[in-house]
Structure 1
């Protein structure tokens, strides 16, 4: 199976093989990875590999099956130190004529989202970079956190007053103290 150049980012639907698979491979260079990291909110992306194939689906559609592998660096939400995340995920999209998507939407009378989230409208081109970017942004952790990072306790109060701590606000903490006091008194 021969692979097209990694620079193949947008495939014209009219040029795809209608009787077989169309393989693809995207491995963005350092400048492309830096731009992509900025777009998805990561500090950097060490490597990305998006490899798969487009297969005809009937007369008017295409199935995309691919593997996405990437190493992303994001800031820890607690310490802001770099957190490295390895992503290995399968990607599946079905590019179909827009009327098929509308039919799928109308079949569920009051649904806000179509049940099949792999459906994409088929246009003149299939933008592999857009599919890769979306899959990568969905696979990244929303709140990256270092394993040993702990959120400390912040205390705020007026000058001269005793600050409230989290344990002071627990509703049964006072009852437990009262129970202990009563038990000590009975003894």
Structure 2
């Protein structure tokens, strides 16, 4: 149907009686640009297919299926890790976005709404922007190559015993105390 860059859908032109279907399949240049934007080593087979339909009198719902093959660096070895993603995506564009309690005048900044599929309705709905956001949210946070394990590294001052990962466990001290008490009871 269309390749990126796509034209955002003008809300005033959308049919309220039937869904507006779309399918985005970015070309090679767009795939490289998206991969660079998201810090990926590679991106292929990206497809975003769905529809935008009216929901009530003034709101709209975008439902789509995201499919992509991404390559990221392993968090341990930096070796390329390839992952296939298949994610359903839904965004609700609402004319009157409900306010969260504490939103107005909050000193801590803006709070996220409980329903993370809600978006404020503007004059356009951009499936390409939703696709890139959905892709970034679907990416594995800590991709790991097969067999890659973190090695234990210990650092300390010369002449002192290094603290190990085992020492940082909350009950390691209790186990040592239990062992000491067991030895005293045997004496």
TM range (shorter): 0.7 to 0.9
Residue pair 2:53, 2:60 contacting (<8 A) in 1 also: yes
**Structure 2 match to 1:113:** 112
For 1:143 and 1:89, how far apart are their aligned partners in 2?
18
Report the Cα offset of residue 134 of structure 1.
Answer: 0.7
**Structure 2 match to 1:6:** 3
State TM-score, norm by structure 1.
Answer: 0.82
- Match status 1:41 vs 2:35: no
C-alpha distance 67-160 of structure 1, shift in aligned 2 (>3 A): same
State TM-score, norm by structure 2.
Answer: 0.82
Residue pair 2:52, 2:63 contacting (<8 A) in 1 also: yes
C-alpha distance 71-181 of structure 1, shift in aligned 2 (>3 A): same
For 1:87 and 1:14, how far apart are their aligned partners in 2?
33
Give the stretch that moved more between structures: 127-136 or 11-20: 11-20
Structure 2 segments unaligned to the other structure (5+ residues): 104-110
Task: Give the ranges of 4+ consecutive aligned residues of structure 1 lying more than 4 Å apart after TM superposition.
Answer: 179-183
**Structure 2 match to 1:172:** 174
Correspondent of 1:56 among 50, 54, 57: 54
Report the Cα offset of residue 173 of structure 1.
Answer: 4.5
Residue pair 1:167, 1:173 contacting (<8 A) in 2 also: no
C-alpha distance 22-149 of structure 1, shift in aligned 2 (>3 A): same
Residue 173 of structure 2 aligns to a residue in which SS? Answer: coil
Aligned length: 176
**Structure 1 match to 2:108:** none
For 2:156 and 2:45, how far apart are their aligned partners in 1?
47
For 1:9 and 1:25, how far apart are their aligned partners in 2?
12
Deviation by residue 1:89-127 (Cα, 9 ceiling, x = unmatched)? 111111122xx10xx21xx53473322221212222111
Residue pair 1:71, 1:85 contacting (<8 A) in 2 also: yes
Residue pair 2:47, 2:67 contacting (<8 A) in 1 also: yes
For 1:122 and 1:115, how far apart are their aligned partners in 2?
17
For 1:179 and 1:158, how far apart are their aligned partners in 2?
30
**Structure 2 match to 1:135:** 134
- Larger helix percent: 1
